[in-house]
Amino acid sequence: MKPSPMQQRLLDRVEEDREEIIAFLRGFLQVPSPNPPGDTRQATRYITEYLDSKNIDYKVVGPDPEKPNIVSTLDTEKPGRHLILNGHIDVFPVGNPDGWSHKPWGGELVDGKIYGRGACDMKTGTTASIYTYAVFNELVDEIKGKLTLTAVSDEETGGRLGAGWLVENMPETMGDCVINGEPSSPYTIRFGEKGILWLHVTVRSKGGHGAYPHLSPNPIKIAAKLITELETLNETPVDYPPNLLKAINEGRVEAEKALGTGGADVMSRLSVNIGSITGGVKINVIPRECSFEVDLRLPPGLSREQVLPRVEAILDKYPGASYEEIRYDGPLWSPPDYEMIETMRANSRLLGIDPKPIISLGGSDLKFWRSHKIPSYYYGPMNHGMGTVDEYVEIEELMHIVKVHLLSAYQYLTQ
C-alpha cells in the first residue's frame, strides 16, 4: 500500500528534518537527567529552549522544583478530539561508568547508532512527541480539536510528581487518547502493562553463635527456602479477559522479537524477582534477622487479592517470617482493538512493519491515564541496553518512530 499525498507530504517533512531530529536527540542525551536523584531542570531547559525557538508557548509546572514538567496545549478552536502526547525526561542512573564503550552522557553517533543513557528509554520517544507537537503548531489550520504535549519528570521512580500530578491537577492533560514513545520495539504496540506488587519480607529468629546451630534457626537459610518457594507464584492461574487473550496470542511472535526469547511467556504470567537481600553480621554468628524484597509483576486478569493469599500460605510454613506490602499498582490496559492501535499499525505498515498489540512487562506513566479509562498506547524503539551499558537507538528506528507518531496524530486530529 502506498502513502496518500497527505501522508507522503508528512513523511517527506520528517526526512527534510532528519538532521534536526538527530541533533535534537543527541543534545538531549548530552544533558544528564538520572533518576534518582531526579533533578531534571537542565534537561527541561533544553526542551523549553527548543520550544522557544519555535515560538511555542508552554507551562513549567509540578510540586517539586527539581522535577519540573512541561505542558503545552495547541487549541485549534474547532470541534474535535483531544490527543495527548506524553514522554518522560528522566532516565535510569548510570552508576559505575566502567563497561561503557561510549560516554553515557555523550550522545555519540557511531555506525548509524546514537549512544547514551536514555537513548531508548525514553529520550527517543520524548523526541518524537516534541517534534510531532512542533510540526503541528505549523499545521494548525489543517487539524481539529486539541493537542497537548506533556514532557514529565519522575517516571523512573513511579511518576507521582510527574504524569500522576498532571492528571490530578491539570484538566488540560486529560484528553480522549494518549500516545507515548516508551521502548516497545517497532514490532509491537503496548496497549497495557502488568501490575506491580512489591513486598518486603523479613525472617526473624533468636540468633546465636554459629557453632551452635541446634539452638536457633538461621533466618538466612529460611529466607533461601522462602525465595525458592515464592518462585512457584509464577504458576498462578490467570483469567485473561477474552479480547486481551486473543491479542496476546496473536502477538506472540512479535513479542519474542521485542522482549527477547521467552518474553511472550513472561508477558502472559506472573513473574517473580528478588531485588535485594540483607542479613548477617559476621561469618560465625547466626543472625537474628534476614530480609529481602520481592518484585511481583501481575498480568491483566490477576489482582493483589488473588496473589497475597498465596504469598501468605507460603510464609505461614516458616515461623518467624512476615511481610509488608510496599507498593501496588494494579494491571491496567486499554482496548487492544481501539482506533489508535489500528491507525498506528496502518501507518507503520506503510514503512514496512506491521506491529502487533501486546502487554508491557514493565510499568509506564500511561497507568495514570488508563486509571481514568482514557485509551493510552505506546510505540517506541527497541530495547537496546535499557538500564545497562551502551544503551543506544538506531537512527532508522528513531526516524520510524517519529514518522508513525506524526502520521497517527495527524490522522486522529483530522477525522
- We report the CATH number of the domain holding residue 61 as 3.40.630.10
DSSP 52-68: HHTT---EEE-S-TTS-
Q: Tell me, yes or no, whether 180 and 237 share the same domain.
A: no
Q: Tell me, yes or no, whether 44 and 130 share the same domain.
A: yes
Q: Tell me, yes or no, whether 39 and 171 share the same domain.
A: yes
Q: Tell me, yes or no, whether 141 and 210 share the same domain.
A: no
Q: Tell me, yes or no, whether 339 and 315 share the same domain.
A: no
pLDDT value of residue 362: 87
pLDDT value of residue 147: 98
Per residue in 376-415, pLDDT (tens digit) is 999 999 999 999 999 999 999 999 999 999 999 999 999 9
Specify the 3-state DSSP secondary structure of 20: helix
Q: Tell me, yes or no, whether 161 and 239 share the same domain.
A: no
CA–CA separation, 261 and 270 (whole Å)? 17
pLDDT value of residue 1: 79
pLDDT value of residue 60: 98
Distances (CA, A) of 335 to 59, 84, 242, 285, 353: 31, 17, 11, 55, 21
Task: Yes or no: say if 177 and 190 are a contact pair by the CB < 8 Å rule.
Answer: no
Q: Tell me, yes or no, whether 151 and 290 share the same domain.
A: no
* Final residue in a domain of this structure, among 277, 311, 329: 329
Which ranges of the chain have pLDDT less than 50?
Answer: none
DSSP 322-373: EEEEEEEE--EE--TT-HHHHHHHHHHHTTT---EEEEESS--THHHHHTTT
* Final residue in a domain of this structure, among 309, 329, 349: 329
pLDDT value of residue 191: 96
Number of structural domains, the chain?
A: 2
* Final residue in a domain of this structure, among 329, 347, 377: 329
Query: The C-alpha cell of 349 is what?
Result: 505498515
Query: The C-alpha cell of 264 is what?
Result: 511472550
Range of the domain at 278: 195-329
Q: Tell me, yes or no, whether 33 and 78 share the same domain.
A: yes
pLDDT value of residue 131: 98
Q: Tell me, yes or no, whether 209 and 323 share the same domain.
A: yes
Q: Output the domain CATH number for residue 242.
A: 3.30.70.360
Query: The C-alpha cell of 354 is what?
Result: 506491521
Task: Yes or no: say if 134 and 54 are a contact pair by the CB < 8 Å rule.
Answer: yes
Q: Tell me, yes or no, whether 12 and 152 share the same domain.
A: yes
Helix ranges restricted to H, 187-303: 219-230, 242-250, 252-259, 263-268
**pTM to 2 decimals?**
0.92
Q: Tell me, yes or no, whether 156 and 42 share the same domain.
A: yes
pLDDT value of residue 19: 98
Q: Tell me, yes or no, whether 106 and 253 share the same domain.
A: no
